[in-house]
Structure 1
Amino acid sequence: MTQVPADAANYCYRHPDRQSFVLCQRCGRTICGQCQTPAAVGVHCPECVREARASAPRVQPRVVGSIRSASRGGAPVVTYGLIGVSLLVYLAQVLTGGVVSSAFSYFAPIALTEPWRIVTSMFTHGSVLHILFNMYALYIFGAQLERTLGRARYAALYFISGLGGAAAVTLLSPATPVVGASGAIFGLMAGFFVIARSLGGSNGVQLLVLLGINLAIGFVSPNISWQAHVGGLVVGALVSFLYTKTRHRSKAGLQTAGLVAIGAVCLLIVLGRSAMYLGYP
């Protein structure tokens, strides 16, 4: 027999054994990934969805209905999408003999004129081992965080962490070209730890050890950007801390403003340092 945890507010009201960070935007109850239905704003629980459909029935195209059905099943579609795009980009790197790698990599001097490289570099990798390790880590941490945070919050955490990694590279190693999703993934690791602690999880000693080992590898290996790791880690922890303090739907505006502020600071660091590097006043 399943017992309701002591702090039921952190668990799905329909599945008391599943922790979740997501609230129904209509009734405010906690719901897990399986119980979430994407709405125009946030997600809705099954009861609120039934009420809405009863009052305003509509017919959906079969393809749209199939996608939403899979989404309601709790599949980490954002994580799968990130992995899929990364694999396609790496295939393009291999087939073009380095042309894509050169066009998608990031380094500070070019950020002011080609800022999209901040994003494209997150889907570009330097070797088979590089992409395999990153995609495995993305699947392990990303799938769980996506179900816990919800797709929009999870995507924001991923990309803002990646931007934080780029900001650290810009400050500490501006002339070094970098590729890879490591900054974003370190942000996910930090987010996993912060969110787990906020939900009353374990002390996360194993995760801290894993983070320490990976950071140490970055410091001793000449081909790994430890700067991106540190930047992603710090920004990911900051974004996740913001989530823990603005969880209630009444603080949605504050949460959005906080995310914009963190992202803007990182972007200003990138563009400002790039301008200085190129000799602009």
Structure 2
Amino acid sequence: MGKLTDGIKHLIIINVILFVAPQLLQLDVTNILALHFPKNEHFGIWQYITHMFMHGSLPHILFNMYGLWAFGTPLEQMWGKKKFLFFYFSAGLGAGLIYTLVNYYQFNGIYDLFLNAGLNPSEILSVLEKGSTNDARIVSSITQEQFNKITSLYNTPAVGASGAVYGVLVAFGLYFKDAKLALIFLPIPIAAKYFIPVMILGDLFFGMTKYSVGNVAHFAHIGGALIGFIIAYYWKKKSI
């Protein structure tokens, strides 16, 4: 940590502007900038970039910007601005793409149940847009849990820099593995080489079970961490 580096400073400024300005102007830019499911009418390919600058709450943006500053500063100081920004956006893009792929896998498994129940694609999308139905074919073929899951996948957009920040976190762990880290609820310093894998395993656990609290895109975190690890490991090994 230390002095605010140039790349991180500009990333934080853009994030803060896109968090504050819509609230001051009373504009809802979620349908334009947040990352939607590809079958959703509001989906745009640019959202794989823009969703990284959107946040749903003050704690959300504070946590991500703190992580970006705390773990990204030594990386930008080591790599330089251009290399760090390339890394940051690569991890964020990877997070969005892997998040979409996982959602597609989950979506298609339930979507097939709609088809087997006799609905055509246009009927299915109409039901998903409404988020509710009394169609007897659906009620008899799909559980409420499955229906809630697919409507959530279809209608809930992803926002936040968390995926990119997880990539930064992993890179920090590779280059500064003995640095001591601590969580607010676990104020015991733990070496990054142990701390970071535990965090990622936690995301994997919550992403694959029903124990997640709140609307957290765990697989975006994992995606960012994976892409961040691949790039940082290659750079470190090749001394690039």
1:213–1:169 distance in 2 versus 1, CA, 3 Å: closer
Q: In structure 2, what is the Cα distance between the partners aligned to 1:203 and 1:80? A: 24
Q: Partner amino acid for 1:90?
A: F
Code of the aligned partner of 1:101: T
- State the one-letter code of the partner of 1:134: N
Q: Post-superposition shift, 1:210?
A: 4.5
Distance 1:224 1:155 in 2: 25
CA contact (8 A) 2:204 2:219 kept: no
Deviation at 1:228, TM superposition (A): 0.4
SS at match of 2:29: helix
- 1:1-281 alignment runs, 5 A limit: 76-97=5-26, 99-109=28-38, 114-174=44-104, 175=154, 176-197=156-177, 204-212=193-201, 220-248=212-240
Structure 1: where are the runs of 5+ without partners? 1-73, 249-281
1:105–1:178 CA contact under 8 A, matched in 2: yes
| CA-atom RMSD in angstroms | 2.8
Shift of 1:119: 0.8
Deviations 1:190-245 (A, max 9, x none): 111122359xxx77223434545566666612410011001001000001012113
Aligned match of 2:185 = none
Corresponding residue SS for 1:136? helix
Amino acid at match of 2:166: F
* Distance of aligned partners of 1:112 and 1:177 in 2 relative to their CA distance in 1, 3 Å threshold: closer
The residue type equivalent to 1:122 in the other structure is M
2: CA distance, partners of 1:111 / 1:143: 38
The one-letter code of the counterpart of 1:99 is D
Cα distance in 1 between the residues matched to 2:22 and 2:59: 14
Percent sequence identity is 31
- The 3 A distance-change label for structure 1 pair 160 and 112 is farther
**TM-score using structure 2 length:** 0.63
Cα 1:97/1:203, change in 2 over 3 Å: closer
Q: CA 1:112 to 1:150, structure 2 compared with 1: closer, same or farther past 3 Å?
A: farther
Structure 1 letter corresponding to 2:95: G
Q: Which amino acid aligns with 1:177?
A: P
Say if 1:121 and 1:179, in contact at 8 Å, map to a contact too.
yes
How far off its partner does 1:173 sit?
1.6
Partner amino acid, structure 1, of 2:36: F
* 1:161-211 residue CA offsets vs partner (Å, 9 max, x unmatched): 00111111111124341000000000001111122359xxx7722343454
Over 3 Å counting, the alpha-carbon distance change for 1:137 and 1:197 in structure 2 is closer
CA spacing shift, 1:171–1:111, aligned 2, 3 Å = farther
Classify 1:76/1:216 alpha carbon distance in 2 versus 1 (closer, same or farther; 3 Å): farther
SS of residue paired to 2:20: helix
**Which runs of no fewer than 5 residues in structure 2 stay unpaired?**
105-153, 179-190
Distance, in Å, in 1 between the alignment partners of 2:192 and 2:161 is 26
Change (3 A) 1:101 1:206: same
What is the CA-CA distance between 1:131 and the residue it aligns to? 0.6
Q: Figure out how many residues of one structure are paired with residues of the other and give that number.
A: 173
Q: Is the 8 A contact 1:158 1:187 kept in 2?
A: yes
Q: Distance in 2 between matches of 1:114 and 1:243?
A: 32
